[in-house]
Amino acid sequence: MKNIAILGATGSIGLNTLDVIARHPDEYSAFAVSAHSNWKSLNELCKKHMPKYAILVDEEAANNLRKLAPKGVEVLSGENALDDIASHVQTDFVMAAIVGGAGMSSTFSAAMAGKRIMLANKESLVLGGALLMNAANKSGAEIIPVDSEHSAIFQCLQAGKEGLNKIQLTASGGPFLNMPFVSLSKVTPEEACNHPNWKMGQKISVDSATMMNKGLEVIEASFLFNLPATHIEVIVHPQSIVHSCVYYDDGSVLSQMGLPDMRSAISYALSFPGRQLSGVEVLDLTKQPPLEFFPPDMKKYKCLELAYQAIKQGGNAPGTLNAANEVAVDAFLKNKISFLDISKIIEKTLNETPTQNLDTLPSVVENDQLSRQLALSLISKND
């Protein structure tokens, strides 16, 4: 029996993880679940899955949960509690599904404790990729990606890296794939969050619309697979059936396909190196529309171009990119800036932040905070 800590349990990744775990009650136990402040949803999960621990970052929300949590579920609060559970001696696997920079500390705690990390929090690698990979290598921790694209690459690379030429990440193109660039300035947060293929939270849905999610994935892939950005390509594939491809020098191309359902990647991260039933419907290519592939329009998807720029700059640039993006997306969702202003704020933040190397976790956190402050000040000037 493997004890699973699901950090970010009330989000789509967390809920899908609990769904897969529930299908294999003899293999996995929901040891701990967490949320930021959504105590009502977490309480429902506690009643259904009966974890040993429930963590809420918000103290008031934790106090509310303590009054109603099922007997036997211990309620913890604060960010330190996330770190404690991620490194807990009884925790076997950690589902790192907290969105944004908020999930970085607990991911590092799991890495230093030698856990299997099922990584859905791409920001941990974007902000401190070299530090995280070094921590995992030192402790013997396993990092298995849960993003559908990185899971696909990870699966394909089980054939080996000998003769590897490049990897190719597929992108759906988001909800504005067929919208002219001139029309993007008037799109609303509701439209940006209406993804055609995936059911996701607001922030990641907007990232898909700007294609920043793919930019962050390029940075993540660079660290995960130890590849330079020049060997990582992005291609638009609207049907989201081919999740990514691996190219070899002999002309061979390996790809991983499946219906757009995150439970496939989650299940593989849980069962690796084996496989198990995930609840995902079997792909029938005879019932699918024709599969399309074409290069991304970098003018339309400026955020993807900025991500490649951040990799080229190196040092703190990827972390600055991520921090500015989180601030800009939040401002867009609150109708403070337009959709096209997102990339403008990110570009200005990148250009105005001096490049420096980050060799400690506190320096990563400090750069994140300073970048956020700069992005906020730029938004204020934009008003």
> Residue 371 has which token pair?
């970048």
Per the model's pLDDT, the better-predicted residue between 40 and 175 turns out to be 40
* Record: fold of 2-145: Rossmann fold (3.40.50)
CA angle (220, 222, 223) in 5-degree steps: 70
pTM of the predicted protein model: 0.89
Measured CA to CA, the distance from residue 294 to residue 54 in angstroms comes to 45
Per the model's pLDDT, the better-predicted residue between 119 and 187 turns out to be 119
208 is in an annotated binding site: yes
14 is in an annotated binding site: no
140 is in an annotated binding site: no
147 is in an annotated binding site: yes
Instruction: Supply the pLDDT for residue 198.
Output: 61
38 is in an annotated binding site: yes
Band the pLDDT of 210: cuts 50, 70, 90.
Answer: very high
Three-state DSSP class for residue 113: coil
Residue 334 has pLDDT above 70, yes or no: yes
Listed by start position, the domains of the chain span: 2-145, 146-173+211-296
Instruction: Supply the pLDDT for residue 15.
Output: 96
The predicted model gives 248-252 an average pLDDT of 96
Residue 134 has pLDDT above 90, yes or no: yes
DSSP letter assigned to residue 100? G
199 is in an annotated binding site: no
235 is in an annotated binding site: no
pLDDT digits (tens, 9 = 90+) for 59-113: 999 999 999 999 999 999 999 999 999 999 999 999 999 987 788 899 999 999 9
26 is in an annotated binding site: no
Measured CA to CA, the distance from residue 81 to residue 34 in angstroms comes to 10
134 is in an annotated binding site: no
Pairing status of strand 253-257 against strand 242-248 = antiparallel
Element (H, E) at 248: strand 242-248
Band the pLDDT of 197: cuts 50, 70, 90.
Answer: low
345 is in an annotated binding site: no
217 is in an annotated binding site: yes
Are the CB atoms for 139 and 111 separated by under 8 Å?
yes
pLDDT digits (tens, 9 = 90+) for 283-330: 999 999 999 999 998 888 999 999 999 999 989 999 999 999 999 999
Q: What is the DSSP string of 332-350?
A: HHTTSS-TTHHHHHHHHHH
